[in-house]
Amino acid sequence: MLSQRQDAILREVVRIFTDTGQPVGSKTLMNELPFHVSSATIRNEMAMLEEVGYLEKTHLSSGRIPSAMGYRYYLDHLVQPTSVPQDIAQRIDEDFGKTYHQIGDIIEQSAKILSHLTSYTAITLGPESSSIRLTGFRIVPLNAHQLMAIIVTSDNNVENNIYTVDDDFDTSLIEKIVNIVNDKLVGQPLNKVLQMLHSDVPAILSEYMYSTDGLLDMMDSLFKKAESEKYYVDGQLNLLNYANGDDMSEVQSLFSIINQSNDLRKLLDPSILDDGIKVRLGSELGSDALKNYSIITANYDVGHHGKGVIALLGPTTMHYSQLIGLLGEFRVELAKRLIDYYSRYDDS
Amino acid sequence: MLSQRQDAILREVVRIFTDTGQPVGSKTLMNELPFHVSSATIRNEMAMLEEVGYLEKTHLSSGRIPSAMGYRYYLDHLVQPTSVPQDIAQRIDEDFGKTYHQIGDIIEQSAKILSHLTSYTAITLGPESSSIRLTGFRIVPLNAHQLMAIIVTSDNNVENNIYTVDDDFDTSLIEKIVNIVNDKLVGQPLNKVLQMLHSDVPAILSEYMYSTDGLLDMMDSLFKKAESEKYYVDGQLNLLNYANGDDMSEVQSLFSIINQSNDLRKLLDPSILDDGIKVRLGSELGSDALKNYSIITANYDVGHHGKGVIALLGPTTMHYSQLIGLLGEFRVELAKRLIDYYSRYDDS
DNA sequence: TTTAGCACTATTCATACCTGAGTGCTAACA
DNA sequence: TGTTAGCACTCAGGTATGAATAGTGCTAAA
């Protein structure tokens, strides 16, 4: 356990280092600390903090910077979230202020707002309820050769695929297909739907059609779209502000991580997150490309519609106190707006 | 006009410089040129080439690199497109090899193939015919509060928007709306449609509806989607391979250019392009961010369905001879596949 | 017109030096 | 026992210096 004075010193080192980016020396600290002790005393304390592993030097005679452990301790014990200033709160409200026709639009807008506000990279994920069901299926003929297949799911998500057929299609056949899907698949959970699509459905379809492959492929991709988690990423380019220019390959792997939902799932899986806000340092994430970055995640809760995640990705030296404060209010605001959306339109 | 020997020297300087990235000296040239003259002679010739502005030095006693003018001359007179090797041609064929349900998918796949093949950034634009007409309009109820509006255009493009209404909607009203659109707008060119949407349509609609704003907004955005050119960009991250690391803001503006269709339109507007393949150097493009890059554009022709553009964006020191050869064959291949697609499904 | 030769120039690399910011340690002090 | 002043020490970073290298331009001869 650290003494109060050591706490204060560590907190101040983090603050100054995030502000200036430079290692912090004993004299600087002496002038910034809220109490007065000599620089020699501070040197003694810092030597101790270094011994326990919370501070480190960039070279033998440099000032100190917080180590990964030091950041961890800071985040766990010392950080003091600041509350969101009035004008920012108002701006969030304004930026949200339009009518949304889909949940995805709200989630997407959240990412936009957060990345603009922070100039970091924002990643948001819509609410996930454990069991999404298929609630609607339509086939709409578009012209002589094209159809649109549309599905609606219990989370109010809509997906569509276009399907092109060589020869003119048979209206009664389409009706048949719609009936089969309505009969067998609508009402089922999505994973069940996908499973049945490959077990039960082919046999039934082949009673009416000669070649079922193309149709099944199309429906498979359609259901998979509905099942896949849709991450919205905004402010990717902000990463370039903090990237160090002489290792472009690092930047590349960073970009490819945030553009692959597989990688994002590993980072942001809502099930592994406790409630509330959590900061994970790059060194704790096991990914080499992320080692100089950290991720602040917050989840939000929309009752029986599930939980979602909002996250900020930035360099380890982010302004945690402000950002944690911001996310703390943002998650509530977002949940409120989503609940509002559901309450107005939901008919499940 | 340059002598044959000067041509050969300039061509060789370009070749060596694109291979090595280093300024080219007289001794190196002496060993690489297909004929033998002493390094002193080469120095004399290079001094002339510098005088007319085709070569320049990085410093007083360095080797020469091609100037922008030199590149221009090289591209206009000296470049010799190489033909595409068998295995590459085959790979293109394989990478194209699946069934496409929409033209956009083919165009998108083109960008993928090109960027993977070249490791530069590929930008593709679908065929644009001068007058696209609205050929179909549907409204599909999804559930108690949501509708999907779908439009089809004469270029076989399909767009949709989801529209959410507060209260339960009136099926007969929807029918009315569909009838009005079919009556007044379907068959018209898209720009006319957009114009009428704001002149004639509001008055007609307001006979049946209390509030028309939301509906009109939705339809406006839908028609605009159909009208806007859709650029497909692939291999953005390749830009990082050639970016110089200590000016991140340059990289940022580069990225924002290729992500804004407005900027892309300026660069790739098919109407300003002659037929065939054209290389434009960054210095000729007037954009500061592009000054170290160049764009190779090629258009392709699908008869009365219009013309489209494929382009490669990379550093000024690209391997033009190979790339021009590649695009030369690719544009034909792409056109062939599009014509094939149209011939199978088109019913216009 | 071409070439050999030479004087000249700029980059690059290593080496050396200096300064400033910072440390650790010791001895004195409260 | 904790705090402080003082001092010797260290290292990064900037600047100067010199040698090696790769190139040039120019002149005079072939």
Residues having Cβ less than 7 A from any atom in strand D: A 36-38, 40-41, 44, 58-62; B 22-28, 39-40, 43, 46-47, 50, 57, 61-64
- A152 shares its domain with A194: yes
Whether B150 and B190 share a structural domain = yes
Shared domain for B240 and B98, answered yes or no, is yes
State residue B151's pLDDT score. 97
Average pLDDT in chain B = 92
B234 and B222 within one domain: no
Are residues B197 and B335 both part of a single domain? Answer: no
Residue in B126, B116, B169, B173 with CA at minimum distance from that of residue B146: B169
With beta carbons less than 8 A apart as the criterion, state whether B74 and B11 touch. Answer: yes
Residues B329 and B245 in one domain: yes
Which band of pLDDT confidence, cut at 50, 70 and 90, is reported for residue B348? very low
pLDDT the model gives residue A98: 84
Q: Which positions in chain A touch B146 (Cβ < 8 Å)?
A: 101, 152, 156, 158, 345
CB pairs under 8 A between A and B: 106
pLDDT of residue A186: 95
Which residues does chain B have within 8 Å of residue A245's beta carbon, measured at their own beta carbons? 244-248
Domain shared by A109 and A31, yes or no: no
Percent of chain A clearing pLDDT 90 (strictly above): 78
The Cα-based distances of B307 to A304, B104, B277, B280, B323 in angstroms read 51, 14, 13, 19, 21
Whether residue B345 and residue A237 make contact (CB cut-off 8 A), yes or no, is: no
Residue in chain B closest to A144 (alpha carbons) equals B347
pLDDT at A210 over 60: yes
Residue A200 falls inside a structural domain: yes
> Residue A346: which pLDDT band, with cuts at 50, 70 and 90?
low
Q: Is the pLDDT of residue A348 over 50?
A: no
**What is the average per-residue pLDDT within A221-250?**
91
- Highest-confidence segment of A99-103, A108-112, A206-210: A108-112
Predicted pLDDT at A131? 81
Tens-place pLDDT, residues B151-177: 999 988 999 999 988 777 788 899 999
Regarding predicted confidence, which is higher, B286 or A21?
A21
Q: Which chain A residue shows the shortest CA-CA distance from B346?
A: A145
Domain containing residue B251: CATH number: 3.30.450.40
For A173-178, which contacts have Cβ atoms below 8 Å and span 24 or more sequence positions? A173/A208, A173/A209, A174/A139, A174/A141, A174/A147, A176/A208, A177/A139, A177/A205, A177/A208, A177/A215, A178/A137, A178/A138, A178/A139
Task: For A26-79, write each residue's pLDDT tens digit.
Answer: 999 999 999 999 999 999 999 999 999 999 999 988 999 999 999 999 999 999
Provide the pLDDT for residue B129.
82
A237 belongs to a structural domain: no
Cβ contact, residue pair B146, A156, below 8 Å: yes
Do residues B209 and B167 share a domain? yes
pLDDT at A345 over 80: no
* Residue A31: predicted pLDDT: 94
**End of a domain among B198, B227, B256?**
B227
Provide the domain limits for residue B122. 86-130+229-345
pLDDT tens per residue across span B258-314: 999 999 998 988 777 677 899 999 999 888 999 999 999 999 999 888 899 999 999
Read off the pLDDT of each residue in B230-238 and give the average, rounded to a whole number: 96
Residue A255 domain-assigned (yes or no): no
What's residue A331's pLDDT?
96
**Residue linked to tokens 């299926």:** A137
Most confident segment among A114-123, A274-283, B239-248: A114-123
pLDDT tens-place string over residues B208-225: 888 888 899 999 999 999
Cα end-to-end distance, chain B, whole Å: 52
- Count up the domains in chain A and report the number: 3
* Alpha-helical regions (H) of A52-189: 68-73, 86-96, 103-118, 171-184
Q: Find the chain A residues whose C-beta atoms sit closer than 8 A to any C-beta of B.
A: 99-102, 135-136, 138, 140, 142-146, 148, 150, 152, 156, 158, 160-164, 166, 214, 218, 237, 240-241, 243-248, 251-252, 255-256, 344-345, 347
Provide the pLDDT for residue B346.
56
- Alpha helices by DSSP H, chain B: 4-20, 26-32, 39-51, 68-73, 86-96, 103-118, 171-184, 190-198, 200-206, 213-227, 239-242, 248-258, 261-268, 282-285, 320-345
How much is the pLDDT for A171? Answer: 87
Which residue among B227, B247, B265 closes a domain?
Answer: B227
Among the listed ranges A261-265, A317-321, B178-182, B266-270, which one has the minimum average pLDDT value?
A: B266-270
Spanning CA of B287 to C1' of C12, the rounded length in angstroms is 33
Looking at residue B131, its pLDDT comes to 81
Query: Which of A101, A152, A163 shows the shortest C-beta gap to B164?
Result: A101
pLDDT digits (tens, 9 = 90+) for B68-116: 999 999 999 999 999 999 999 999 999 998 889 999 999 999 999 999 9
On whether residue A286 sits in a domain, the answer given is yes
Compute the half-sphere exposure of residue B79: CA atoms within 13 Å on the CB side of its CA.
Answer: 23
Q: Which CATH number fits the domain that encloses residue B71?
A: 1.10.10.10
Choose from A148, A155, A225 for mutation: most chain B CBs within 10 A.
Answer: A148
On whether both B123 and B233 belong to a single domain, the answer is yes
**Which bases of chain D come closer than 7 Å to a protein CB?**
3-6, 9-12, 22-27
pLDDT digits (tens, 9 = 90+) for B124-133: 999 988 788 9
Look up the CATH number of the domain holding residue A205.
3.30.390.60
A244 falls within a domain: no
Is residue A109 assigned to a domain?
yes
Angle at CA of residue A328, ends A326 and A333, nearest 5°: 90
Q: Are residues B183 and B95 in the same domain?
A: no
Mean pLDDT across the stretch A249-266? Answer: 92
Both B63 and B178 in one domain: the answer is no
Residue B245: per-residue pLDDT:
76
The answer to the question of residue A254 being in a domain is no
Residue A216 is assigned to a structural domain of this protein: yes
Residues B121 and B138 in one domain: no
Nearest neighbour of A152 by CB, restricted to B143, B150, B245: B143
